[in-house]
Structure 1
């Protein structure tokens, strides 16, 4: 079992090189602590704490009911203003939304005249203005329908909404898992590829070639060392940042989630090794990482549902281990899935990792032959 001993000592060398680099340690801590918190708790694609004013010229129970429904965490406490005051406040940037009710708004609604309420939005924050307008439109419609149903003799029908797996619709839950995936992908690909290039740029690749080592042993040592470092950081971030600071519950098995992360790291490290073998300098490697990491993050399902992508793109994303890991993580963390439900994702990640590792090993063998 000489090859196991060789891999053991090579992994130790890689771990000493990574842990002994203060910049690398700071980068890992930043990625799995500060970056996860900032990305998960940021405003993102939701409305949060938006300032809103109410210009109520009707002062009816209906308008008061609508104003009372504009509540945190989406909106600040509504401020009652006159139309002129609201216009000035919006000009100064103090208010993002102004909801104005004309006189006799409630009376016209009861009479079936379909009155119109005016909503003004500060569109300098484009996405927040659009999403906030949708929120307000939905609140106004639902509260008006509820009010009118109490003032009519017809059947009072209401839609009962039940949220599965995330009762409060807290976006932090999903963003935290998506952020962990992003950090896993970026760091694992970057660390593995950089380790490959460091041997070439420092001239130590020639030292390895004269030793009784095979390309498989050298490649596995790079991959396993990166997996160990990033997996330890992932476990710490999951326990102390995601579950501790962000209060994201994990419905399923934490050991299963960690095991799935290890399988994904195998695939991501194989991609990093492939890029590190293709590149001839650190500058080339950086460009390759940018070209690869953007599709890995954008098409995995973390920034938008995979089902909303074009059919041809959906088929292409089947070759991305990140897509399968995010599906696996959501199933385990939020739906409490067991191994019997997620084994296809684990098998796909392991198979893709083996394919990428085989490709990188073939290129590495060829590059070592050329150097020799």
Structure 2
């Protein structure tokens, strides 16, 4: 029994010493430290404040061939923040096409002559919208907002005419749209973008840092010294994962406190302890990809390229940018094999929805199962290459 305790004590001593060594090596790599600090602070701030999924200040030019009160009323409905009125077109349709071709406008509203007189006479009238959809998302939003504005204008004119014909008696039947927006009632893009960027940065470093720590040993020639020491391959590898996990958790805590809650006022409705526990599980398991990379790459440049090769498909298949329902069936099937997909579901579930283990246990179980396979594969490959 005493011998077993001595062995256990020696094992933990080696673990502590090797983990301390990883922290010291990281502290000496000031470029990597700067990158980590930037990623968990400035990068998340820029993503939250500078990226919007809404239509903002779309440049609008108007070709008003009627010049009536009705046309002016319709033009006046295209207001900020969605549209920015940039001026009237005076030289006809050719000028409108020229502005669109040069990228000087996004939307051209073309109101025909006799627009008001046709409305007063009850004659159906048409207006033309020309929209630059080089950016398909913004173009779709501009088209949707414009259609809603024009539809509301037409409905109000028709209702006013019917009201006048009935002498003001009675009321017209209507449907009241009484909807509720949950979890993000103001539909604030900042909340979504900052949380998404934080989870993305965690994933990036979970792959990059353990791989970089191991390959750094290769470049400096110290890996041979470790292999001839009385350390097992697990004692060489595990402190790298452990130390980098601690660094990522510290960066995550700083980002939550200073950026998400401090600057963007993102409400954290769930348990922070649960969030950090799931983040620890995710980082540990995803680090298996870093171990795989470290057994293939020969220098840090190759680590960077291979990290991009692994990370990019994980990001696009996570469901953060494209809803799973919008993906082809075969791509959706592959998405379920990405641990990042489950991490994003649990992250948003905890931070914005206040969900607990009773709601998220399926995602946690799937992430743990996938992570166990990934980490086990990385560990097996590492032992085969360096193994003892």
The TM-score with structure 2 as length reference comes to 0.85
Query: In the alignment, which residue of structure 1 is the partner of 2:138?
Result: 128
From 72, 85, 108, the counterpart of 2:80: 72
Q: Report the alpha carbon displacement of residue 333 of structure 1 after superposing the two structures with TM.
A: 1.9
Provide the rounded CA distance (Å) in 2 between the counterparts of 1:364 and 1:165. 43
Query: In the alignment, which residue of structure 1 is the partner of 2:126?
Result: 116
Classify 1:99/1:349 alpha carbon distance in 2 versus 1 (closer, same or farther; 3 Å): same
Which deviates further from its counterpart, 345-354 or 231-240? 345-354
Provide the rounded CA distance (Å) in 1 between the counterparts of 2:131 and 2:287. 47
Q: Report the alpha carbon displacement of residue 167 of structure 1 after superposing the two structures with TM.
A: 1.8
Query: In the alignment, which residue of structure 2 is the partner of 1:12?
Result: 20
Contact 1:110 1:148 in 2 (8 A): no
Contact 1:165 1:335 in 2 (8 A): yes
From 261, 265, 286, the counterpart of 2:279: 261
Query: In the alignment, which residue of structure 2 is the partner of 1:30?
Result: 38
Q: Report the alpha carbon displacement of residue 7 of structure 1 after superposing the two structures with TM.
A: 1.6
Which deviates further from its counterpart, 175-184 or 55-64? 55-64
Q: Report the alpha carbon displacement of residue 283 of structure 1 after superposing the two structures with TM.
A: 4.1
Does residue 341 in structure 1 map to residue 341 in structure 2?
no
Does residue 96 in structure 1 map to residue 103 in structure 2?
no
From 247, 256, 267, the counterpart of 1:229: 247
Answer with 1 or 2: which has the greater Rg.
2
Does residue 81 in structure 1 map to residue 91 in structure 2?
no
Which deviates further from its counterpart, 139-148 or 32-41? 139-148
Classify 1:23/1:281 alpha carbon distance in 2 versus 1 (closer, same or farther; 3 Å): closer
Which deviates further from its counterpart, 197-206 or 144-153? 144-153
Deviations 1:323-351 (A, max 9, x none): 00111111112222122111222222233
Q: Report the alpha carbon displacement of residue 145 of structure 1 after superposing the two structures with TM.
A: 2.5
The RMSD of aligned alpha carbons is 2.7
From 211, 214, 235, the counterpart of 1:217: 235
From 151, 155, 172, the counterpart of 1:141: 151
Deviations 1:63-99 (A, max 9, x none): 52x44443333223x3552543994793775543232
Q: Secondary structure at the match of 2:181?
A: coil
Q: Secondary structure at the match of 1:84?
A: coil
Classify 1:321/1:58 alpha carbon distance in 2 versus 1 (closer, same or farther; 3 Å): same
Deviations 1:210-264 (A, max 9, x none): 2222222222111111111111111111221122223332232333223222222
Which deviates further from its counterpart, 83-92 or 38-47? 83-92
Provide the rounded CA distance (Å) in 2 between the counterparts of 1:143 and 1:217. 71
Q: Secondary structure at the match of 1:134?
A: helix
Query: Where in structure 2 are the equivalents of 1:241-260 lying within 5 Å?
Result: 241-260=259-278
Q: Report the alpha carbon displacement of residue 301 of structure 1 after superposing the two structures with TM.
A: 1.0
Provide the rounded CA distance (Å) in 2 between the counterparts of 1:248 and 1:148. 43
Which deviates further from its counterpart, 258-267 or 89-98? 89-98
Provide the rounded CA distance (Å) in 1 between the counterparts of 2:241 and 2:200. 18
Provide the rounded CA distance (Å) in 1 between the counterparts of 2:182 and 2:219. 52
Provide the rounded CA distance (Å) in 1 between the counterparts of 2:379 and 2:293. 11
Which deviates further from its counterpart, 38-47 or 195-204? 38-47
Provide the rounded CA distance (Å) in 1 between the counterparts of 2:161 and 2:42. 52
Q: Secondary structure at the match of 1:152?
A: helix
The TM-score with structure 1 as length reference comes to 0.88
Does residue 194 in structure 1 map to residue 212 in structure 2?
yes
Q: Report the alpha carbon displacement of residue 306 of structure 1 after superposing the two structures with TM.
A: 1.7
Can you give the 5+ residue segments of structure 1 that lack an aligned partner in the other structure? none
Aligned residue-pair number: 368
Which deviates further from its counterpart, 85-94 or 218-227? 85-94
Classify 1:82/1:200 alpha carbon distance in 2 versus 1 (closer, same or farther; 3 Å): closer
From 297, 313, 316, the counterpart of 2:331: 313
Query: In the alignment, which residue of structure 2 is the partner of 1:169?
Result: 187
Contact 2:51 2:193 in 1 (8 A): no
Provide the rounded CA distance (Å) in 2 between the counterparts of 1:254 and 1:62. 54
Does residue 47 in structure 1 map to residue 55 in structure 2?
yes
Q: Secondary structure at the match of 2:336?
A: helix
